[in-house]
């Protein structure tokens, strides 16, 4: 069996990659070892730049429709402090309350709609490559088989076998904290006090909010109006857990006992989850025909950023692989995946490592650091900057150009556009995930200069209020590859545009 691209793993990253490849005209073979979608609770929400990208694909409403609750106030934990954007009309970071199971269901529906089969129950056990192809050995429900492909992408999570088989190192740190999160019903024997604390007969009392002890940190969110409470523990442990092995009520109770010294009776669990933090980045995102994306490529020691980073890896990689499959990828295009996403990962690592330093210490010096940091975040400018950093919206890819425009490398702004056919927007132009040449100034000279790339490029002419540039060349991942400054003369703009088109879309 031969495929253009094999995607290993059908988590959020692999599913996003499969959908983006299909949009770009490539039908990948998706191999997933789990026979059915996982029900182990993981992420409780989706946030950051990926929401904007989903809107640019015309998909955001589907994800919003799958949300389990009202959109929360824009307030996010950051180490031991929090980023509070509630005062902003245009917060720099958004999130959806979308549990990972729901997210994967919506993504899977999208993939099916695009005509891609996911081979469930097919575990990749071996990967080799040579000059001609990459070969996988697979254990499937009907026995072992081999498949070959032009490219293979390991979206197979933190313990990536693809990464190991490709010989790509995964250096970094595993932190000893184990975090346990639970939503449980309380039995009638336990009283929820008006202040949100608990009276536990025969055991003692539980204080409301957070309690730090020598055993770790305990947190509770409870109100007398409900018998369902949220519980949270953090302990330093040396045991390594498998994320796919569900947590149990007994494990939660043992943890509470170690931290608080009492046995808390609990009833029916609504949610039980556990996670540890690691700070690791793959040495390379690419080894020959093999690529890594998502948790296989990076693990960040903070919550709320991993899925955003993984899905954005997929969006960055898909159109480049498709260009190669379609035969027009310029030399070096596939390597830009490593360069761009390694740099984006390093940025996420920067702030997630800083969060470790902010949350771990319990001494007066650590308290002072948290207090000072929180104080700095009262000012709008640093708060906005932190928001953009955590959301991943401040990523600016390096664009090879002698005189890059200020917009080059940034995520394209969603300009409102007026055309002869009516109004549209940059977001709408990117629904099909094609490269876009957007002429905002009636620049016949530049549209003509791009004529030789006709088949690979969607060319649009429009007007916008306060145009930021005369012409924008926008990649399928919504990043601006090149821009012509307002009134830039044709004798410099036309050759520069042709050079940018050759760099990103290959020889004419
Ligand atoms: C309790 C918990 C809470 C979390 N909360 C958040 C959060 O709030 N926000 C956030 O952004 N992230 C959160 N995360 C992290 C998030 O779950 C991961 O970042 C995300 O699942 C990574 O997606 P992925 O597709 O890269 O990898 P995975 O989701 O791990 O998917 C990998 C897939 O590959 C398959 N696979 C593995 N090996 C093979 C093989 N050899 N052959 C075939 N298939 C294979 C696996 O079965 C799996 O389906 C949380 C994680 C946990 C455990």
Domain boundary assignment for the chain: 2-73+94-170+282-352, 175-277, 416-505
275 Cβ below 6 A of ligand 1: yes
Q: Ligand 1 centroid to 4 CA: how many Å?
A: 24
* Top mutation candidate among 6, 8, 9 for ligand 1, by most atoms within 8 Å of CB: 9
The b/e string for 47-84 (b: 16+ C-beta within 10 A; e otherwise) is bbbbbbbbbbbebbeebeebbeeeeeebebebbbbebb
Of 425, 461, 419, which is closest to residue 440 (Cα–Cα)? 461
pTM of the model: 0.92
Distance CA 85, CA 77 (A): 11
The domain defined by 416-505 carries CATH number 3.40.30.120 = yes
Q: Ligand 1 centroid to 164 CA: how many Å?
A: 17
Q: What angle do CA 216, 217, 219 make, to 5 degrees?
A: 155
Whose structure tokens read 């109004």? 423
Of 473, 478, 441, 440, which is closest to residue 457 (Cα–Cα)? 473
* Backbone φ/ψ region at 399: left (φ over 0), alpha (ψ -120 to 50), beta: beta
The atom number, within ligand 1, closest to the CA of 243 reads 53
Q: Looking at residue 211, what is its pLDDT?
A: 83
* Top mutation candidate among 6, 18, 33 for ligand 1, by most atoms within 8 Å of CB: 33
Q: Ligand 1 centroid to 244 CA: how many Å?
A: 9
425 Cβ below 6 A of ligand 1: no
* Top mutation candidate among 15, 306, 352, 392 for ligand 1, by most atoms within 8 Å of CB: 306
294 Cβ below 6 A of ligand 1: yes
Nearest CA to ligand 1 atom 33: 9
Q: What is the pLDDT along the chain (508 residues), one digit of tens a residue?
A: 899 999 999 999 999 999 999 999 999 999 999 999 887 778 888 999 999 999 999 999 999 999 877 777 788 888 878 899 989 999 999 899 899 999 999 999 999 999 998 999 999 999 999 999 999 999 999 999 999 999 999 999 999 999 999 999 999 999 888 889 898 999 999 999 988 889 999 999 998 877 878 888 888 887 777 888 889 898 877 666 776 778 899 999 999 999 999 999 998 898 888 888 999 999 999 999 999 999 999 999 998 899 999 999 999 999 999 999 999 999 999 999 999 999 999 999 999 999 999 888 778 898 899 999 999 999 999 999 999 999 999 999 998 877 789 999 999 999 999 998 899 999 999 999 999 999 999 999 999 999 999 889 999 999 999 999 999 999 999 999 999 999 999 999 999 999 999 999 999 8
Q: Looking at residue 268, what is its pLDDT?
A: 84
Residues contacting residue 399 through CB under 8 Å, at least 6 positions apart: 408, 409, 480, 481, 482, 500
Of 21, 33, 77, which is closest to residue 314 (Cα–Cα)? 21
399 Cβ below 6 A of ligand 1: no
9 Cβ below 6 A of ligand 1: yes
Q: Which helix (H) or strand (E) holds 323?
A: helix 306-326
Q: Crossing angle, helix 306-326 and helix 333-360, to 10 degrees?
A: 170
Q: Which helix (H) or strand (E) holds 460?
A: strand 458-461
* Backbone φ/ψ region at 45: left (φ over 0), alpha (ψ -120 to 50), beta: beta
157 Cβ below 6 A of ligand 1: yes
* Backbone φ/ψ region at 25: left (φ over 0), alpha (ψ -120 to 50), beta: left
Nearest CA to ligand 1 atom 13: 43
The domain defined by 175-277 carries CATH number 3.30.420.40 = no
Of 323, 287, 295, 324, which is closest to residue 311 (Cα–Cα)? 295
Nearest CA to ligand 1 atom 52: 42
The atom number, within ligand 1, closest to the CA of 41 reads 1
Q: Looking at residue 239, what is its pLDDT?
A: 67
Q: Looking at residue 238, what is its pLDDT?
A: 66
100 Cβ below 6 A of ligand 1: yes
273 Cβ below 6 A of ligand 1: yes
Identify the three-state secondary structure at position 408: coil
Given a contact cutoff of 8 angstroms between Cβ atoms, the answer to whether 160 and 167 are in contact is no
Nearest CA to ligand 1 atom 26: 294
Q: What tokens does 502 get?
A: 């050759």
Q: Ligand 1 centroid to 295 CA: how many Å?
A: 6
Nearest CA to ligand 1 atom 19: 306
Q: Ligand 1 centroid to 212 CA: how many Å?
A: 30
For domain 2-73+94-170+282-352, give the CATH number: 3.50.50.60
Nearest CA to ligand 1 atom 30: 157
Per-residue HEC secondary structure of 97-161 comes to CCCHHHHHHHHHHHHHHCCCCEEECCEEEEEEECCCCEEEEEEECCEEEEEEEEEEEECCCCCCH
Q: Ligand 1 centroid to 364 CA: how many Å?
A: 36
């Amino acid at each position: 069996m031969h495929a253009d691209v094999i995607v290993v793993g059908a988590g959020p990253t692999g599913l996003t990659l499969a959908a983006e490849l299909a949009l770009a005209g490539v039908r990948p073979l998706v191999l997933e070892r789990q026979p059915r979608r996982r029900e182990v609770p993981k992420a409780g929400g989706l946030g950051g730049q990926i929401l904007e990208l989903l809107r640019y694909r015309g998909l955001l409403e589907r994800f919003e429709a799958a949300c389990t609750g009202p959109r929360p106030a824009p307030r996010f934990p950051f180490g031991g402090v929090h980023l509070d954007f509630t005062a902003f009309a245009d917060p720099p970071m958004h999130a959806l309350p979308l549990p990972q199971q729901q997210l994967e269901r919506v993504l899977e529906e999208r993939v099916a709609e695009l005509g891609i089969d996911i081979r469930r129950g097919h575990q990749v056990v071996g990967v080799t490559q040579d000059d001609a192809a990459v070969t996988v050995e697979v254990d499937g429900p009907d026995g072992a088989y081999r498949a070959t492909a032009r490219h293979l992408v390991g979206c197979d999570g933190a313990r990536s076998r693809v990464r190991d088989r490709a010989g790509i190192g995964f250096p970094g740190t595993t932190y000893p904290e184990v975090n346990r999160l639970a939503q449980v019903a309380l039995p009638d024997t336990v009283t929820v006090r008006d202040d949100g604390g608990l009276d536990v007969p025969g055991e003692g009392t539980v204080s409301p909010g957070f309690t730090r002890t020598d055993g770790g940190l305990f947190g509770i969110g409870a109100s007398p109006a409900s018998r369902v409470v949220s519980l949270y523990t953090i302990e330093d442990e040396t045991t390594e857990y498998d994320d796919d092995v569900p947590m149990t009520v007994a494990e939660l109770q043992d943890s509470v006992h170690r931290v608080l010294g009492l046995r808390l009776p609990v009833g029916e669990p609504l949610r039980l989850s556990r996670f540890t933090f690691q700070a690791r980045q793959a040495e390379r995102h690419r080894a020959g025909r093999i690529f890594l994306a998502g948790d296989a490529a990076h693990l960040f020691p903070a919550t709320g950023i991993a899925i955003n980073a993984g899905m954005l890896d997929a969006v960055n990689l898909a159109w480049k692989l498709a260009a190669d499959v379609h035969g027009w990828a310029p030399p070096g295009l596939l390597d830009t995946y490593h360069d761009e996403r390694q740099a984006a990962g390093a940025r996420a690592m920067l702030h997630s490592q800083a969060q470790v330093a902010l949350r771990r210490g319990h001494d007066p010096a650590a308290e002072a650091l948290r207090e000072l940091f929180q104080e700095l975040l009262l000012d709008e400018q640093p708060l906005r900057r932190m928001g953009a950093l955590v959301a991943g919206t401040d990523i600016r890819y390096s664009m090879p150009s002698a005189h890059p425009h200020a917009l080059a490398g940034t995520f394209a702004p969603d300009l409102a556009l007026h055309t002869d056919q009516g109004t549209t927007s940059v977001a709408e132009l990117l629904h099909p995930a094609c490269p876009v040449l957007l002429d905002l100034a009636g620049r016949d000279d530049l549209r003509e200069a791009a004529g030789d790339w006709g088949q690979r490029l969607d060319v649009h002419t429009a007007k916008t209020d306060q145009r930021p540039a005369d012409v924008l060349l926008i990649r399928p991942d919504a990043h601006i590859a090149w821009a012509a400054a307002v009134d830039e003369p044709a004798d410099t703009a036309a050759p520069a545009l042709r050079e940018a088109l050759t760099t990103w879309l290959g020889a004419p």
